[in-house]
């Protein structure tokens, strides 16, 4: 025990104190409502021989207990509500409302046309403009979306994948207009195309050119945007598609392995870009399993980065992640119950050590969140942060026999999946063979069967049903006139811009897409000269083609 006490003293001196000096916001003495002191960190009475290998200290390898030495004793997670609908102006108003309510970061939801690289006036997208997110076909729209949002102070997260590089180019262009240097821009772009092929479906290009776009962004961000996360490797959508917790860890980290391998193959040093990788996980219903899931994922990724890829920088070993509560668990029946579900899921994310959190709104099984529902969702995070006491100690559940057992088991099961994928030649061959998709589909079918036979209970749906229920919620409805307004804005843009220069830039882009040139600087030039998102994507489609998914009969 004296050896562990010595190590704790070393950790406090070498790892903890520098962080305390950097982030002094939440450093007072903490105590319970009964006056019992709450220590920063608790250690086991009998740590056992594998304590350091499996647990260690927060902020140190293998990061089971968190990637930051102080965790929420230093500062709270970023409260980042996911929002976007209709026009850029309406979404901007929602962002300002949420920031005024205490939100600490923005998370942008784009409409389906934007996600798959179409302008709002394209015949292909009739009826979809502004429906599931905000419509951003041009830099003009991005300027309105971010109007009054200081990009050197507010972190921006964008849930965009196939055209992620183009949307990032727009943010960079707006930052330049605001006088914000590239080194000051803070945020994340999802940019995770592999999970689109697996679970979500908003892909555009085939895998090879898609991976080229991602490695171009890795290189550009590593060189120019040191505070920007160039990818958010997403297990969220894998879980929403029906995977288990172990599958969520395994397939997410296997995707991460593929991105790291692609970047190394493109000539990047692993320590040049890997500290800018981030992850995105689901917070599902099984409270204790979810906490263990986050701990297992951190430990497994640290092992992969240090062992498989020989990364030298400890920052390269850290799995930093955003969490969103589980949309697939929300019910249209008795929607008030969703407030309770979200609170438990958010608490699991916090107890699991998330760096950033979005809490879903009670009405999301029925419509996009109303302003009132979004406010309640944000207040849920604030109550956890300021009233519950769970953030007062760095890792409050470490040492629980059940938590540690679940962590070990989830890590083992995820590692077995990754080994199977390695034996198939990696994630791309596994996706092309349909292996990953089938595993998720089988898990989803298993849960659906259990729910239908009442082996699994969904309160208000298959048990405790209220046959006399009457829906009494004001739902957000997107005005159909939004689409026509966006068409008119684009017509005005096309009429006033220098169309000869637009044509020349599109020819230059087509040539660059056939070379090894990093496309990010050219994307920035294109958007600054009013080349639209759809025009850029159509130019690339002409060179690279579109992805056609495997169909099994």
Whether residue 179 is contained in a domain is answered as yes
Q: What pLDDT sits at residue 27?
A: 60
Percent of the chain with pLDDT over 70: 98
Percent of the chain with pLDDT over 90: 85
Q: Domain limits at 493?
A: 78-189+478-553
CB 135 within 8 A of CB 532: no
Residue 549 reports pLDDT greater than 90: no
Whether residue 161 is contained in a domain is answered as yes
Question: Where residue 18 falls among pLDDT bands split at 50, 70, 90?
Answer: confident
CA distances from 328 to 283, 284, 393 (A): 11, 9, 31
Average pLDDT, the chain: 94
Q: Render pLDDT for 60-111 as a digit per residue (tens, 0 to 9).
A: 999 999 999 999 988 999 999 889 999 999 999 999 999 999 999 999 999 9
Averaged pLDDT for residues 511-536: 98
List Cβ neighbours of 282 (8 Å cut-off, separation of 6 or more): 235, 236, 238, 239, 240, 248, 323, 324, 325, 326
Give the bridge partners for 156, in sequence order: 106, 187
- Burial (Cβ within 10 Å: 0-12, 13-18, ≥19) of residue 32: exposed
Averaged pLDDT for residues 51-68: 92
Question: Where residue 1 falls among pLDDT bands split at 50, 70, 90?
Answer: very low
Torsion angle, alpha carbons of 155, 156, 161, 164, to 10: -100
The upper half-sphere exposure of residue 289, i.e. CA atoms within 13 Å in the direction of its Cβ, equals 12
Whether residue 466 is contained in a domain is answered as no
The encoded tokens of residue 51 equal: 């304590």
Q: What pLDDT sits at residue 101?
A: 95
Whether residue 403 is contained in a domain is answered as no
Question: Would you say the pTM of this structure is higher than 0.95?
Answer: no
Whether residue 67 is contained in a domain is answered as no
Whether residue 134 is contained in a domain is answered as yes
* Residue bearing the bigger pLDDT, 2 or 466: 466
Q: What pLDDT sits at residue 50?
A: 81
Whether residue 400 is contained in a domain is answered as no
Averaged pLDDT for residues 26-55: 80
Give the bridge partners for 346, in sequence order: none
Q: How many domains does the chain have?
A: 1
CB 270 within 8 A of CB 224: no
Averaged pLDDT for residues 150-168: 96
The upper half-sphere exposure of residue 195, i.e. CA atoms within 13 Å in the direction of its Cβ, equals 32
Q: What pLDDT sits at residue 99?
A: 95
Question: Where residue 22 falls among pLDDT bands split at 50, 70, 90?
Answer: confident
Query: What is the Cα–Cα distance from 153 to 149, expressed in whole angstroms?
Result: 8
Question: Where residue 552 falls among pLDDT bands split at 50, 70, 90?
Answer: low
Averaged pLDDT for residues 240-266: 97
CA distances from 97 to 83, 89, 90, 103, 323 (A): 11, 12, 11, 9, 22
Q: Render pLDDT for 379-437 as a digit per residue (tens, 0 to 9).
A: 999 999 999 999 999 999 998 999 999 999 999 999 999 999 999 999 999 999 999 99
Q: What pLDDT sits at residue 473?
A: 84
Whether residue 550 is contained in a domain is answered as yes
């Amino acid at each position: 025990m004296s050896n562990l006490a010595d190590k704790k003293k070393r950790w406090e001196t070498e790892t903890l104190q520098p962080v305390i000096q950097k982030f002094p916001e939440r450093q007072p003495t903490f105590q319970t409502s009964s006056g019992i002191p709450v220590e920063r960190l608790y250690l086991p009475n009998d740590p056992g021989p594998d304590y350091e290998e499996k647990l260690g200290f927060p902020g140190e390898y293998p990061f089971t207990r968190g990637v930051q030495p102080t965790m929420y004793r230093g500062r709270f997670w970023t409260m980042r509500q996911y929002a976007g609908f209709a026009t850029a102006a309406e979404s901007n108003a929602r962002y300002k409302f949420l920031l005024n309510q205490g939100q600490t970061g923005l998370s942008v939801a784009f409409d389906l046309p934007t996600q798959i690289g179409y302008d709002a006036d394209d015949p292909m997208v009739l009826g979809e403009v502004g429906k599931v997110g905000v419509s951003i076909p041009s830099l003009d729209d991005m300027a309105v979306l971010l109007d009054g949002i200081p990009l050197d102070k507010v972190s921006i997260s964008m849930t965009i994948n196939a055209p992620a590089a183009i949307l990032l180019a727009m943010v960079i262009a707006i930052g330049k207009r605001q006088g914000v240097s590239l080194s000051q821009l803070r945020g994340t772009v999802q940019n995770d195309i592999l999970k689109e092929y697996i679970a979500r479906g908003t892909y555009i290009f085939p895998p090879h050119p898609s991976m080229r776009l991602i490695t171009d962004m890795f290189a550009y961000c590593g060189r120019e945007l040191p505070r920007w996360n160039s990818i958010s490797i997403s297990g969220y959508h894998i879980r929403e598609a029906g995977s288990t917790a172990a599958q969520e860890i395994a397939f997410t980290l296997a995707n991460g392995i593929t991105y790291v391998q692609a970047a190394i193959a493109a000539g990047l040093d692993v320590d040049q870009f890997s500290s800018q990788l981030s992850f995105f996980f689901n917070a599902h219903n099984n409270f204790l399993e979810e906490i263990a899931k986050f701990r297992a994922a951190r430990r497994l990724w640290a092992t992969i980065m240090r062992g498989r890829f020989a990364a030298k920088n400890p920052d390269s070993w850290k799995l930093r992640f955003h969490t969103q509560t589980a949309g697939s668990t929300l019910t249209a029946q008795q929607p008030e119950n969703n407030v309770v579900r979200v609170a438990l899921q958010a608490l699991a994310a916090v107890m699991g050590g998330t760096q950033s959190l979005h809490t879903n709104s009670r009405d999301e099984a029925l419509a996009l969140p109303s302003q009132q529902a979004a406010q309640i969702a944000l207040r849920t995070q604030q109550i956890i942060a300021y009233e519950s006491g769970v953030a007062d100690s760095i890792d409050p559940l470490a040492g629980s026999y059940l938590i540690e057992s679940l962590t070990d088991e989830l890590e083992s099961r995820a590692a077995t999946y990754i080994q199977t994928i390695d034996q198939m030649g990696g994630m791309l061959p596994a996706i092309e063979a349909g292996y990953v998709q089938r595993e998720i589909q089988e898990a989803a079918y298993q849960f659906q069967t259990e729910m239908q036979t009442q082996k699994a209970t969904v309160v208000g749906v298959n048990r405790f049903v209220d046959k006399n229920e009457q829906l009494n919620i004001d739902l957000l409805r997107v005005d159909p006139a939004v689409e026509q307004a966006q068409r008119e804005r684009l017509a005005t843009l096309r009429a006033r811009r220098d169309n000869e220069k637009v044509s020349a830039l599109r020819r230059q882009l087509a040539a660059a897409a056939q070379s090894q040139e990093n496309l990010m600087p050219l994307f920035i030039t294109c958007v600054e000269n009013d080349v639209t998102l759809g025009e850029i994507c159509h130019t690339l489609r002409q060179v690279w083609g579109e992805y056609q998914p495997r169909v099994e009969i």
